[in-house]
Structure 1
Amino acid sequence: MQAPELVLRSPGRGLLALPWELPLADWDETEVPLRDVEVGPSRHLVRFAETDGVLWALKDLPERIARREYDVLRRLEDDGLPAVQPVGFVAQPEHETAILVTRFLSGSWQYRRLIARLPPNRPRHRARLFDAMISLLVDLHRHGVFWGDCSLNNTLFARDGQTLQAYLVDAETSEVHPTGLSDGQREFDLSILVENVAGGMIDLAESLDRPPEIVPQLVEEAAALPDRYAQLWDALHAAPVFAFGDRYRVEGVIRELNDLGFAVDEVALRPLGDGRSRLQVAVGDRNYHSEQLRRLAGLDVGEGQARILLGDLAAHREWMRRRTGEDVAEWAAVRSWTETCLHPGMRSAHRALNGVGSEVQAYCDLLEVRWLLSERHGADVGNEAALAELGAGAPTDSAAKGAVADAPTGEFRLSAIADYARDRE
């Protein structure tokens, strides 16, 4: 018998003890700590095992493909791109196959669960999902990554403040090009996305017995994805030309990029010889607000969460200024905010959701619900009313609270929050 080749980055005792010598399909759930996790259609067998306090995703693949996907995922991790974390692979020459091991993305869910919870007349929420996918594709292309099979089935979504963050799950067909992608490669990848998204949304609509008249709308929304892509790509790669005396326009470009969440690494004005200059901006990763919050308060949160929390911090600093009648030092405002608003608010919001999900996302939801309720009533309703609304409908049974895959923070209140936003519009 030919022994398997084992490569693991998290060699915990439980993970090492799994029956790697057996084909994944032959693992016995009475002997292996397997977990039932709902997954979408897949070309390969995918199972989940929980050991060492972690849920692992295991995918059966031909060895050549498993090695390549593992290498690609390692590269994405090194570049800080949103993708599942590669843990290792196990080559099984005895069975002419291999098993790719990744860490399950906690607090995430598939598009089917998100869309299935919403009525068909909610194009705004589908738009949020599409924006997340386009942002992911642009991030990959900027780093020279050709996805090759970008689809809804190969993407997981997690809430980041009041936005969605998309994560690449399947990199079987992905390629990393150190010198970057050509326009043709980017356009081909985008065309694959349009076709796959249209097909995935139509299949889901049919499985949910949506009215047939929604199909043309779904096709139209998928066909508009290249425009979304072009808008973001152009914003990141624009090189405007203006008179040297109009240098104030540089600040406008930087602010636009910061509003999109991107940090600016370098700005250059290249003279054209006719009194005008061309602006070239080197754009970093989409972590502008999260880096700012990390610097101020030592918090490590998502970009969307950081945007909300920085707004809350600014409001608290302004409240301190009005109360004292004096300017408030940044450090003093941060300390007061973390002690009197952030930490108590996170604990209260998390309790209101019966401990589901992360405390940070729960507090972001609390702030959003409080703002929307206040807009509705024309006055600040305060935290107590917002906490009561936030907690309404949260799961109470231990199974729902403990389900890693079935209880992402905010899913229980996502529809209600969306209803308030729709009413406000």
Structure 2
Amino acid sequence: MPQSLQITAAQLDPALLDLPWEVALEEWPDEVLAALPRGLSRHVVRFAKLSGRVVAIKEIGESVAYREYELLRSLSRLEAPSVQPIAVITGRRSPDGEELNSVLVTQHLQFSLPYRALFSQYMRPETATRLIDALSVLLVRMHLTGFYWGDVSLSNTLFRRDAGAFAAYLVDAETAELHPSLTNGQRNYDVDLARTNIIGELMDLQAGEVLDEDVDVIAVGDRIVQRYGSLWSELTDEETLDPGERWRVTARIERLNELGYDVGEITLTTDVDGTTLRIQPKVVDAGHYHRQVMRLTGLDVQENQGRRMLNDLESYRVVHDRQGEPLEFVAHDWLAEVFEPTVRAIPRELRGKLEPAEVFHEVLEHRWFISERQRRDVPLTEAVRSYITDILRHRPDEQAYLGSDTGEIPRVSDY
């Protein structure tokens, strides 16, 4: 083992000493490597087995390695979505005395894939826009911490599916800087660079016949500008809530949903100026809401119905100050105190008009509408009575259409 070898790590894993640091990374033997898909990189990158886990090793200049290591440690302390740094190793030399590049060792993000692997294995063409949405969330979250990326691209990002969520993680911070906060110029430069890089990366996929040539890569690149702008505004616009204004929390969630994002976390902070609302977004995959509602409540509902129910469950959790409790416990009480009483309140003769989950959705929609119109938090029981009287009684029975000839149903209008 070369005597000049230096390892800098917050917690040293002795197994690091067993890896062949005296060999150039691109020549490492297969027995120490893990066969995982690699993304595009300007440096040599390999995945290696270490103490029953997998680490990513990147050959890089010494000063850049230390700088990136410290930046990743800072992001870890901020709980930002990025890979976790393990060590920087310098002083490498081959057996004949040749100097070898320093390396940065990071923890491999389990179940994550680079964008090229996602496209080449099993993804549909519309995956491009889904990745852009996830990258938009990542970029907004990074900017909120004061992190200037300086090289935003799909190549410098890892994507992971986790219980229906589709999330992006920063994997390369060579050009990054961490500030107390960012100027509009810094943020806009990152977004513009992201657009340029994304268009180039997607064109590369088309040239390799991995991405359908009919995909408008310019439009996809423009999407990150639009999505970032909308999401940044929705998350950073200050909003102070007065007591009894729960409807405004629902309104904020609805606007996020319309942008295509789910609510990952809601935080309400009370101070002398009132209650401040903060929302952390995430991108979800098809079927996520249905599966979540089934797991938490046993109810078999449609996707959009499930989304509305989970949003209401999260609001219930916040309003009753139960964020620290397991969601399963909160869901049990929500089902008994909110969903079931709402459904039971529907008169028996009106229950054939809509299925229970759709009735609940429409009650929440009606409650939000009248709360916004009256500028107050309308109690659920009041909203149910109003909904039954003003909406449900005037609806046709949907069950009456089952088995009927749709050609006999009157046409409302021409399109």
- Under a length normalisation based on structure 2, what TM-score does the superposition of the two structures give? 0.62
Shift of 1:304: 11
Provide the rounded CA distance (Å) in 2 between the counterparts of 1:141 and 1:224: 18
Q: How does 1:131-150 map to 2 (within 5 A)?
A: 131-150=133-152
Amino acid at match of 2:194: L
Matched, 1:8 2:12: no
Secondary structure in 2 matching 1:39: coil
Shift of 1:113: 2.0
Q: How does 1:4-403 map to 2 (within 5 A)?
A: 4-27=5-28, 29=29, 33-92=32-91, 95=99, 97-117=101-121, 122-123=125-126, 125-177=127-179, 179-208=180-209, 212-214=213-215, 217-239=216-238, 247=245, 249-253=247-251, 255-256=253-254, 259-266=262-269, 281=276, 283=278, 311-316=293-298, 334=328
RMSD over equivalenced CA pairs, Å = 3.9
Amino acid at match of 1:114: L
The 1:97/1:268 distance shift into structure 2, 3 A limit, reads same
Deviations 1:137-157 (A, max 9, x none): 011000010111111111111
The 1:53/1:9 distance shift into structure 2, 3 A limit, reads farther
Deviations 1:220-253 (A, max 9, x none): 11112111011111111123599x7994554335
Amino acid at match of 1:191: D
Amino acid at match of 1:263: I
Provide the rounded CA distance (Å) in 2 between the counterparts of 1:69 and 1:305: 38
Provide the rounded CA distance (Å) in 1 between the counterparts of 2:165 and 2:300: 26
Provide the rounded CA distance (Å) in 1 between the counterparts of 2:47 and 2:149: 24
- The answer as to whether partners of 1:317 and 1:333 remain within 8 angstroms in 2 is no
- The answer as to whether partners of 1:157 and 1:166 remain within 8 angstroms in 2 is yes
Amino acid at match of 1:266: T
Provide the rounded CA distance (Å) in 1 between the counterparts of 2:263 and 2:237: 14
- The answer as to whether partners of 2:69 and 2:87 remain within 8 angstroms in 1 is yes
Deviations 1:332-390 (A, max 9, x none): 9947x99xxxxxxxxxxxxxxxxxxxxxxxxxxxxxxxxxxxxxxx9xxxxxxxxxxxx
Unaligned runs of 5+ in 2: 94-98, 302-321, 333-354, 356-415
The 1:70/1:187 distance shift into structure 2, 3 A limit, reads same
Residue aligning to 2:305 = none
Structure index of larger Rg:
2
Provide the rounded CA distance (Å) in 2 between the counterparts of 1:224 and 1:333: 34
- The answer as to whether partners of 1:286 and 1:303 remain within 8 angstroms in 2 is no
Deviations 1:151-180 (A, max 9, x none): 111111110233311111111111111x21
- The answer as to whether partners of 1:84 and 1:104 remain within 8 angstroms in 2 is yes
Q: Choose 306-315 or 101-110, whichever is displaced more.
A: 306-315
Provide the rounded CA distance (Å) in 2 between the counterparts of 1:305 and 1:102: 33
Shift of 1:317: 8.0
- The answer as to whether partners of 2:263 and 2:279 remain within 8 angstroms in 1 is no
Shift of 1:106: 1.5
Provide the rounded CA distance (Å) in 2 between the counterparts of 1:260 and 1:91: 43
Shift of 1:280: 7.4
Residue aligning to 1:356 = none
Provide the rounded CA distance (Å) in 2 between the counterparts of 1:250 and 1:133: 27
- The answer as to whether partners of 2:202 and 2:211 remain within 8 angstroms in 1 is no
- The answer as to whether partners of 2:71 and 2:178 remain within 8 angstroms in 1 is yes
Amino acid at match of 1:109: L
Provide the rounded CA distance (Å) in 2 between the counterparts of 1:210 and 1:332: 42
Provide the rounded CA distance (Å) in 2 between the counterparts of 1:151 and 1:313: 36
Secondary structure in 2 matching 1:261: strand
Provide the rounded CA distance (Å) in 2 between the counterparts of 1:332 and 1:280: 24
Provide the rounded CA distance (Å) in 2 between the counterparts of 1:49 and 1:75: 24
Deviations 1:254-306 (A, max 9, x none): 64579522322425685xxxxxxxx873526559xxxxxxxxxxxxxx99999
- The answer as to whether partners of 1:161 and 1:308 remain within 8 angstroms in 2 is no
Q: Choose 2-11 or 64-73, whichever is displaced more.
A: 2-11
- The answer as to whether partners of 1:163 and 1:304 remain within 8 angstroms in 2 is no
Shift of 1:40: 2.3
Shift of 1:93: 6.5
Q: Percent identity?
A: 30
Provide the rounded CA distance (Å) in 2 between the counterparts of 1:92 and 1:110: 30
Amino acid at match of 2:263: L
The 1:203/1:116 distance shift into structure 2, 3 A limit, reads same
- The answer as to whether partners of 2:146 and 2:178 remain within 8 angstroms in 1 is yes
- The answer as to whether partners of 1:110 and 1:157 remain within 8 angstroms in 2 is yes
Kindly tell me the number of residue pairs found equivalent between the two proteins.
Answer: 299
Provide the rounded CA distance (Å) in 1 between the counterparts of 2:80 and 2:287: 17
The 1:333/1:5 distance shift into structure 2, 3 A limit, reads closer
- The answer as to whether partners of 1:160 and 1:305 remain within 8 angstroms in 2 is no
The 1:269/1:172 distance shift into structure 2, 3 A limit, reads same
Provide the rounded CA distance (Å) in 2 between the counterparts of 1:314 and 1:37: 34
